Amino acid sequence: MPHSETASKSILVVDDETSLRNTFRIFLERAGYETVLAVGSFEEAVAAISSRIFDLIVTDIVLGSHSGIDLLKKVRDLGIACPVVIVTGYPHVDTASEAVRLGAFDYIPKPVEKETLLKAARLAITQYRLEQGKQEAEQTRERYRYLLEVIFKSVSDSIISVDKDHNILKMNLAATRFFQKTHPDLQEGSTLGDMCPNRDLCQITDNITKVMKTGIEMKDHRVECILDGPCKLLSICISPLDDGGGTPIGAVLVFRDMSWKMQPHIPGRVQFHKMIGASAVMQNIYMMIENIGKVDTSLLITGASGTGKELAVHALHQESKRSEQPLVMIDCTAIPENLLESELFGHKKGSFTGADENRGGRILQAEGGTLFLDEIGNISMAVQLRLLRFLQEKTFYPVGSDKEIQVDVRVIAATNVSLREKVTEGSFREDLYFRLRIIDIHLPLLREREGDIVLLANHFLHHFTEKLGKKFTGISDPALALLCQYKWPGNVRELEHVIERACILSQGTTIFTENLPSEIVHQSHKIRSQPLPFMIEDSRTDSALANHSSLTEQKQRATEQIVEALRKAGGNKAKAARMLKIDRSTLYRKMRELHIDMDLFAS
């Protein structure tokens, strides 16, 4: 039975003497080498090595019009690294020297003893296998080192490795960028002692010494410090770094900025007075309010419940010349119909049961300023008539009084129903309708405001972070995906309540899908997440709900996709963008966002 160490080996024997090459073949086969091919010419040998892989070539020095040296040269020209043993009947110093120079493993004279041949074969193949293993190990290490280098450069957290004397061994790109303004001298070869002028970070060196001494990792040590501008909250993790045998040689520090992350710059305005939104429709609303605010006329704001009509009124008032005067707001549906007239116009003492004293109405309170009538579509026909006369004359009579009062008030009305339909039905005066809508502003539904859901969700998260005294750092990608897909029948007000509920229910620092209401989590249609700033491919809800993937994991997956595409494209960024099915400009933006070194791949 063939020995396991020899059975899988393949040997080529080349000799123009039939009896000799057959003898060599028999010796080798009986020694357990199952695959032994014997050929009689240079041409046959070249054909054999060109079509298959051998672990050893044994060749005679004389091969007709060629020589074993010629075959050795051909083997090396073809880039074949297997060992070659040359057999000769006429040993000569020059040929031996040439064979060794070209890389022959051995040079043995005739007559060749069986044991001499087998020993040469065994040693040659063993060394060949060792060299192959060494090369494969080196390639694996190089691949591993390269991947670690790519990951090290692309991670968004700041990573710094130091030796036992606190000298910096390595810094990733994120760390260089993070400290470049406040600690420009902090670089590979410098010492962490350079941080000591910053009293908040000075304790890091003591913590490193403690970690190296105890071998215990320090996790999530949160430090408030001023690096550049406002105070930042840094989460610092320090892990011991050893030589593989347990001997500490340094430490690895990971800095994560836990301060509130501002949204990336978006063209146009993200906020206008108390209104939040960067979508194109909101940019148009902002522009209209700026222009209309300066015009002192009545106007009508329409839009579904929860779209932000009150915020629009505040913005209009602030943009007007009346901004220093009162803004009086009245919800017409919150006041009984029989009291609304008195609430608006005031009343004289004794004018009706319960009128125990004279009272000025809301219109008088708004003198010089703005009066906002919310849900104007629900007022009675009698109040509609009185309101129409007031808008025309700028005068009114309090209930039960015959004394006319003149006021300077701008009236803004709002409704979530169609006043035109009410006019058709006969429940709303047509003349009042046209008087109110000299100018009108229609506020869009939240689902019509592309890109604003994420912006608003993070705004409300920040608001409730301060209000509830909790330290929230963000919303998970799957949760954001569900928020972006939901239809939001209650519009912005519903989104605000959802985020408030999630903040109250969350036990950690991140809002997950489990913190969202069931109607959002269990949407009936198949969910695909909208593209987020750090993602290439969409996330399916099924996997999102199952995994609760963290922001870091999503970034890592996107980084791996980009790096793999660039590798396959040979560094050609245009080709990589086509492979990822995105625009080249998008690829460059993603690389910047994920801190992937632009110079890592030469395009």
Q: For the segment 365-408, what is each residue's pLDDT rounded down to a tens digit?
A: 999 999 999 999 989 998 999 999 999 988 988 888 888 899 99
Separation CA 153–CA 592 (nearest Å): 12
- For the chain, give every residue range classified as CATH 1.10.8.60: 447-549
pLDDT at 322 over 90: yes
Separation CA 537–CA 581 (nearest Å): 10
Given a contact cutoff of 8 angstroms between Cβ atoms, the answer to whether 67 and 73 are in contact is no
What percent of the chain is modeled with pLDDT above 70?
83
pLDDT at 475 over 90: no
- For residue 192, what pLDDT is reported? 78
- For residue 153, what pLDDT is reported? 67
Q: Which CATH superfamily is domain 155-257 in?
A: PAS domain (3.30.450.20)
Given a contact cutoff of 8 angstroms between Cβ atoms, the answer to whether 38 and 27 are in contact is no
More reliable by pLDDT, 55 or 535: 55
Structure tokens at 353: 């049961």
pLDDT at 39 over 80: yes
User: What is the mean predicted confidence (pLDDT) over 259-264?
Assistant: 50
- For the chain, give every residue range classified as CATH 3.30.450.20: 155-257
Per mean pLDDT, which range of 35-39, 260-264, 297-301 is the poorest? 260-264
Residue whose tokens read 């760390």: 175
- Mean pLDDT, the chain, rounded, equals 81
pLDDT at 231 over 70: no
Spatial CA neighbour of 384 closest among 435, 421, 439:
435
Taking phi over 0 as left and psi of -120 to 50 as alpha, with beta for the rest, 599 belongs to alpha
More reliable by pLDDT, 106 or 100: 106
User: What is the mean predicted confidence (pLDDT) over 9-29?
Assistant: 89
User: What is the mean predicted confidence (pLDDT) over 245-263?
Assistant: 75
User: What is the mean predicted confidence (pLDDT) over 62-68?
Assistant: 86
CA 532, 535, 537, 539 dihedral sign is negative
User: What is the mean predicted confidence (pLDDT) over 230-250?
Assistant: 80
- The DSSP annotation for 393-433 comes to HSEE--BT----EE---EEEEEESS-HHHHHHHTSS-HHHH
- 3 state SS for 474-497: EECHHHHHHHHHCCCCCHHHHHHH
- Confidence at 232, pLDDT banded by 50, 70, 90: low
Spatial CA neighbour of 601 closest among 135, 140, 154, 155:
154
CATH code that applies to domain 271-444 = 3.40.50.300
- Helical residues (DSSP H) of 197-244, grouped into ranges: 204-214
pLDDT at 307 over 90: yes
Residues in Cβ contact with 376 at an 8 Å cutoff, skipping those fewer than 6 apart: 300, 332, 413, 414, 415, 419, 436
Per mean pLDDT, which range of 122-131, 207-216, 221-230 is the poorest? 221-230
CATH code that applies to domain 554-593 = 1.10.10
- pTM score: 0.51
The residues with which 540 forms a beta bridge, in sequence order, are 528
User: What is the mean predicted confidence (pLDDT) over 105-131?
Assistant: 88
CATH class of the region 8-133: alpha beta
- For the chain, give every residue range classified as CATH 1.10.10: 554-593
Per mean pLDDT, which range of 412-416, 487-491, 582-586 is the poorest? 582-586
User: What is the mean predicted confidence (pLDDT) over 10-17?
Assistant: 90
Residue whose tokens read 């709900």: 545
The residues with which 291 forms a beta bridge, in sequence order, are none
Q: Work out the end-to-end distance of the chain between its first and last CA atoms, rounded to an integer number of angstroms.
A: 56
More reliable by pLDDT, 1 or 267: 267
Given a contact cutoff of 8 angstroms between Cβ atoms, the answer to whether 359 and 346 are in contact is yes
Given a contact cutoff of 8 angstroms between Cβ atoms, the answer to whether 603 and 572 are in contact is yes
- Helical residues (DSSP H) of 155-279, grouped into ranges: 173-179, 204-214
Separation CA 322–CA 412 (nearest Å): 13
CATH code that applies to domain 447-549 = 1.10.8.60
Long-range interactions of 219-222: CB distance < 8 A, separation 24+:
222/258
As a whole number of angstroms, the longest Cα–Cα distance in the chain is 141
In degrees, rounded to 5, the angle at the alpha carbon of residue 237 between the alpha carbons of residues 471 and 460 is 20
User: What is the mean predicted confidence (pLDDT) over 431-443?
Assistant: 91
- Confidence at 544, pLDDT banded by 50, 70, 90: very low
pLDDT at 538 over 50: no
CA 580, 586, 592, 597 dihedral sign is positive
Separation CA 432–CA 327 (nearest Å): 22
User: What is the mean predicted confidence (pLDDT) over 89-101?
Assistant: 68
- For residue 535, what pLDDT is reported? 42
- For residue 443, what pLDDT is reported? 95
